[in-house]
């Protein structure tokens, strides 16, 4: 996860899209590593000092990125966002900050999904062999990986706007609810035998990128990044395999996340 997910996948995105160097990339990685501690902090308790430090460094980085675009030091889509704030006045300062801060987290979602994809492919050798023989199958295989192993339950807090009921559970107006868009990826009425990993399934309507007004704007980029990362890995190291055939995955992450902690592989 350190060498492939953090360096290749996340590195490619933040380096090419945002021009961040290694040191700044590390700030984002430290922030992501710390996030699980935040969701483990009980209401009313202060966030642990390392959370506060990592959040401040990430927030400082966002402000530096904004200042650099304002000074015309780099022209890219972040500069367009800054212009939307300054010229079109379409974003408030807080929205501009939040948008860029949020993007950092979104990129980490790609890293996690790439890890999930590797785990699926390297525990299903027969299907991986098909991809090596026929690389045109890779995009469909990635879609199936995203369906079954992208981000865990990946829940987002929502606040009920009225009294309602879901699956027999009463929900009162004002309650915080953590719905899981990904649970629908395992709906047996849509995806028969949902726990079976099948690169030929061609799953439609997966909810890994959510749905509605907050649908992921990076869904094409996320899919493309993972597809290229897998294409390159299979082409360059066709004999790569799990270092331990009996490997048992260990997951961590914030509430609702499934972050694969490591995936030791032999690439000879
Ligand atoms: C495989 C990779 C990715 C996955 C699984 C993923 C998943 C998601 C999900 C589930 C949401 C909805 C959040 C919600 O309901 O509040 C979301 C939103 C978002 N994603 Fe992604 N994402 C990925 C990659 C990316 C990338 C690469 C970018 C940008 C470079 C990106 C940018 C965003 C943004 C800006 C939003 C917020 C949209 C809004 O609230 O209007 N995502 N993503």
Residues 59-102 have pLDDT tens digits of 999 999 999 999 988 888 888 888 888 787 778 888 889 988 88
For residue 181, the CA-to-ligand 1 centroid distance in Å is 12
Rounded to two decimals, what is the model's pTM? Answer: 0.88
Q: Which domains does the chain have, with CATH numbers?
A: 2-266 (1.10.630.10)
Torsion of CA 218, 219, 220, 221, to 10 degrees: 40
Atom of ligand 1 nearest to the CA of 17: 30
- Longest distance between any two alpha carbons in the chain, whole Å: 58
228 Cα distance to chain centroid: 16
Is the CB of 110 inside a 6 Å radius of any atom of ligand 1?
yes
pLDDT of residue 153: 59
Tokens at 174, concatenated: 């004002």
Q: Which residues pair with 259 in a beta bridge?
A: 252
Is the CB of 9 inside a 6 Å radius of any atom of ligand 1?
no
Q: Which is more confidently placed, 145 or 93?
A: 145
Report how far residue 23's alpha carbon sits from residue 36's, in angstroms, rounded to the nearest whole number.
22
């Amino acid at each position: 996860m350190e060498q492939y997910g953090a360096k290749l996948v996340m590195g490619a995105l933040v380096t090419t899209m945002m021009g961040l160097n290694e040191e700044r990339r590390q700030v984002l990685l430290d922030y992501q590593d710390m996030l699980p501690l935040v969701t483990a902090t009980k209401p009313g308790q202060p966030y642990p000092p390392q959370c506060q430090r990592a959040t401040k460094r990430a927030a400082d980085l966002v402000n530096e990125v904004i200042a650099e675009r304002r000074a015309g030091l780099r022209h890219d889509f972040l500069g367009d966002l800054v212009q939307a704030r300054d010229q079109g006045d379409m974003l408030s300062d807080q929205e501009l900050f939040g948008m860029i801060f949020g993007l950092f987290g979104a990129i980490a979602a790609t890293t996690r999904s790439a890890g999930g994809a590797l785990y699926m492919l390297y525990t299903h050798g027969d299907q991986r062999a098909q991809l090596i023989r026929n690389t045109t199958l890779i995009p469909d295989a990635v879609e199936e990986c995203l369906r079954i192993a992208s981000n865990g339950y990946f829940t987002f807090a929502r606040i009920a706007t009225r009294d309602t009921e879901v699956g027999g559970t009463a929900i009162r107006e004002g309650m915080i609810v953590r719905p899981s868009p990904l649970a629908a990826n395992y709906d047996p009425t849509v995806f028969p035998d949902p726990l079976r990993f099948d690169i030929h399934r061609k799953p439609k309507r997966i909810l890994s990128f959510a749905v509605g007004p907050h649908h992921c704007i990076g869904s094409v980029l996320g899919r493309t990044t993972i597809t290229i990362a897998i294409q390159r890995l299979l082409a360059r190291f066709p004999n790569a395999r799990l270092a331990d055939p009996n490997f048992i995955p260990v997951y961590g992450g914030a509430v609702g996340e499934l972050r694969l902690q490591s995936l030791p592989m032999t690439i000879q």
